[in-house]
Structure 1
């Protein structure tokens, strides 16, 4: 099979011929039709991720057709169109992942290849209304956003939601999911174009977080403080999110691309009964809930652009430029 291989950190990803995978007990081999990039893949490529093992085929997200299985009892999966849940061995506690938890795409090879062997337990039927590229864009970012909103923040219809840094995959899924759930959603971005595109997806409005006094302006436009804030940046701007949260409100966060926050007012947090909720990825129940929600509401992931597998390195360069709105996808077959 053909696969996009990272042989050394900070070096180009190169298409290579590798042996076809075989399905072990409880596994299935999926012939992949599309895969999607996540920032995790870029951090691995740049050497900014823990326990990197090279050479490696990156990639956590994929869609395709089951080609073979390793256990006769799973034969009904053969020929089915599927998406892959990239969270392996979550564990028995739905509240948090266990010690054997890991992702597709590190330490084992991932989805940037023509074929991949994965546990049958990590397969789900592809939502019928999605193309291969749209379906491949869904798993990791969709599950992250789902768990953040519904499992951790317990979002309810009618609540006011703020999603920071709109444009990335998880933030866009959070927007689409919250709108579908009946929330009033506002966003932030440094790009007026991205705010406008978010409004076209159902956001009520947004503000440029670089502008002087943007928090007060946003609060006035939204008509009050926010019940739920979804953040993936952290950094010094996190203190402003405390100011924008209602008493008893929830801030749920799954990233720290801007580092740890300084100047965090803990007194304001506890006096206003604000809930700070960390989250990452999701359990099998989160994945099942997310895929059912997407099918029920016919949600279509936002795809920024599609590259062929042979241009995986170019796809990484596009992500590194941070100009995308939506998911960057690889077409494999």
Structure 2
């Protein structure tokens, strides 16, 4: 194909509300470095990290829930307002989810890859590895431009071939949320056990239900009452209303693993619900990052707490395998043209949906 010199894209021009998202039709098309590929984006999913990065929620100066500052935060320390703790470079094209087709390659990449249908790794190894920090990594849409555009460039290893009859929209619902969920389950070594999943109606939570039941787990899901039937249909054996008293609704010491995306005021209950020797894993804190812990519960019950951000390469490879073998299925709540990104993000924050919201750039 003839690659245009300019493209349509959404530029994030600074931390703040959706007014910081600038839809443009004259953005220079990315050029590829020697080890890169250029991907024509077919679709790109919306994720919590897009909102968190835009509003600066990752800054340690912010202590509230993610939806509390969806219109912008006044007290953000911009020096640490990204998940990696380094200042964001503006303008930035966000979008951690990418499904598309390779249309150009760098000099060091096999030209036979042109035409490949690919998913972009949302989380990639840092381009300059630090032996002192083996967990160093970066994400599309944060440390590098991402998928809210007609084209995006990425390292060749980050564009993973996928052979599936799913649509671009369905595939774009997977990379960030589902790899996050898979990484959490691998980090906590989840098997055929009793698992509690919080935030179960969101992209990561709904993926965690499918991926945990795929492992033979018995899953109890926590979500809003209006979403209970849809969450149960994903494979949850029991669904609990997020507004219930969890310690009243569930038995103490009854779970092997808690997979948590919520944190907030309910966090102490999770420690009580875990059996002695149980494991807790988290990759989000949508209800607020500051929690209370009774250290006696932690050590007297021999609990293990896991944080899960960095993803070993096999996490994404395994996820693509599940997709190709139809061992999991996509859950797309709605699609939007890229020009409607502000509406899509507002709808995302409102959380009236189950699953993923996906943006489609113009062709």
Query: TM-score under structure 1 normalisation?
Result: 0.91
C-alpha distance 175-127 of structure 1, shift in aligned 2 (>3 A): farther
In 1: Cα distance, 2:353 partner to 2:260 partner: 18
Q: Secondary structure at the match of 1:237?
A: helix
2:168 to 97, 107, 132: 132
The within-5 A match list for 1:258-297 is 258-297=287-326
In structure 1, list runs of 5 or more residues that go unmatched: none
- Structure 1 pair 326/96, CA: closer, same or farther in 2 (3 Å)? farther
Change (3 A) 1:184 1:309: same
Whole-Å separation in 2 of the counterparts to 1:78 and 1:186: 44
Partner residue in 2 for 1:31: 40
- What runs of 5+ residues in structure 2 fail to find an aligned partner? 1-6, 58-80
5 Å matches for 1:251-262?
Answer: 251-262=280-291
CA distance in 2, matches of 1:235, 1:249: 20
- Aligned-residue RMSD, C-alpha: 2.0
**How far off is 1:207 after superposition?**
1.3
Q: How far apart are 1:96 and its partner, in Å?
A: 5.0
Q: Which residue is equivalent to 1:3?
A: 9
Q: Which residue of 2 aligns with 1:110?
A: 146
Cα deviation code 1:262-298 (max 9, x no counterpart): 4412112211111111111512121112222333343
Alignment of 1:35-184 (within 5 A): 35-48=44-57, 49-50=81-82, 51-71=87-107, 73-90=109-126, 91=129, 97-98=135-136, 101-150=137-186, 152-157=187-192, 159-184=193-218
1:56 and 1:108 in contact (8 A); partners too? yes
Residue 14 (1) aligns with residue 43 (2): no
For residues 292 and 315 of structure 2, the distance between their equivalents in structure 1, rounded to whole angstroms, comes to: 33
Partner of 1:197: 230
Q: How many residues align?
A: 323
SS of the residue 1:290 aligns to: helix
1:215 aligned partner: 247
Asked if structure 2 preserves the Cα contact closer than 8 Å seen for 1:62 and 1:136, the reply is: yes
Q: What is the rounded CA distance, in whole Å, between the counterparts of 1:134 and 1:165 in structure 2?
A: 21
Contact 1:61 1:139 in 2 (8 A): yes
Deviation at 1:181, TM superposition (A): 1.3
Aligned-residue offset at 1:228: 0.9
